């Protein structure tokens, strides 16, 4: 499994492009800079199968509709509790200070805990991780030992909860009850900043005292 992380937007959001040996690919959280992402996918000759979204904040979804039109693929996730964020994409554009984008919705809300989304030979288990937003989800590849968990758990930090419908206690319990149940060696690709591992965060993260 190959992973390329391309930071996008002024918020340096970690957009991830992943692919298997046959070049079957998915893109996770294309927050902006669509042309840069399209160029990468086409230069690498990847076969884009799906667009995956962890949550509805603009810096994670801003280029999703453009990529959907370009590659004719569907958008999967997040959980439907984030629908209000898609309703308000134009207002979010103003708040984030990014170029205005029109309202769009995912083709598939991912509301079923434990559902598996397949991309080539990769299988992503869906975990509902509310707190940063109510409909936030994570994409967990158990076999390949890697988790794409958006803005929930960061290297030595945690996601903000001062946005509409954020909830700090809920965020901490998503981390303790779900992410910290994953194996200690699992790599965590965070929505911003460096990658980390579950075990490292259990030991060092100052925001999560047990």
Residue 148: which of 121, 120, 108, 117 has the closest Cα?
117
Structure tokens of 185?
């060696």
136 near Zn ion, rule: CB under 5 A = no
Of all residues in the shown chain, the one whose CB is closest to Zn ion is 57
Q: Which is nearer to Zn ion, 24 or 54 (CB)?
A: 54
User: What is the closest distance, in whole angstroms, from the C-beta atom of residue 56 to Zn ion in the complex?
Assistant: 8
User: What is the closest distance, in whole angstroms, from the C-beta atom of residue 67 to Zn ion in the complex?
Assistant: 19
Contact present, 39 and 32 (Cβ < 8 Å)? no
Q: Tokens 């990847």: give the residue.
A: 46
For the segment 36-65, give every residue that binds Zn ion (CB under 5 A).
Answer: 57
Cβ count near 75 (within 10 Å): 21
Q: Which is nearer to Zn ion, 57 or 128 (CB)?
A: 57
Site string for Zn ion, 137-156 (x = CB under 5 A): --------------x-----
Please give the DSSP secondary-structure letter assigned to residue 199: H
Structure tokens of 170?
């809920």
Residues that bind Zn ion (CB under 5 A): 57, 151
């Amino acid at each position: 499994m190959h992973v390329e992380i391309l930071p996008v937007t002024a918020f340096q959001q970690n957009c991830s492009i992943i692919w298997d040996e046959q070049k079957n690919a998915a893109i996770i959280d294309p927050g902006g800079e669509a042309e840069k992402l399209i160029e990468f996918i086409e230069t690498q000759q990847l076969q884009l199968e799906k667009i995956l979204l962890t949550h509805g904040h603009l810096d994670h979804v801003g280029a999703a509709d453009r990529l959907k039109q370009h590659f004719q693929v569907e958008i999967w996730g997040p959980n439907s509790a984030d629908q209000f964020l898609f309703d308000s994409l134009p207002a979010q554009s103003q708040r984030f200070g990014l170029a205005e984008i029109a309202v769009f919705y995912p083709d598939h809300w991912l509301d079923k805990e434990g559902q598996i989304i397949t991309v080539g030979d990769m299988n992503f288990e869906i975990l509902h991780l509310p707190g940063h937003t109510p409909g936030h989800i994570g994409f967990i590849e158990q076999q390949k030992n890697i988790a794409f968990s958006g803005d929930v758990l960061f290297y030595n930090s945690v996601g903000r909860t001062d946005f509409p419908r954020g909830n700090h206690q809920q965020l901490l319990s998503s981390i303790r009850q779900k992410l910290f149940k994953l194996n200690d060696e699992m790599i965590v690709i965070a929505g911003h900043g460096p990658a980390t591992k579950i075990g490292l965060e259990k030991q060092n993260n100052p925001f999560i005292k047990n």
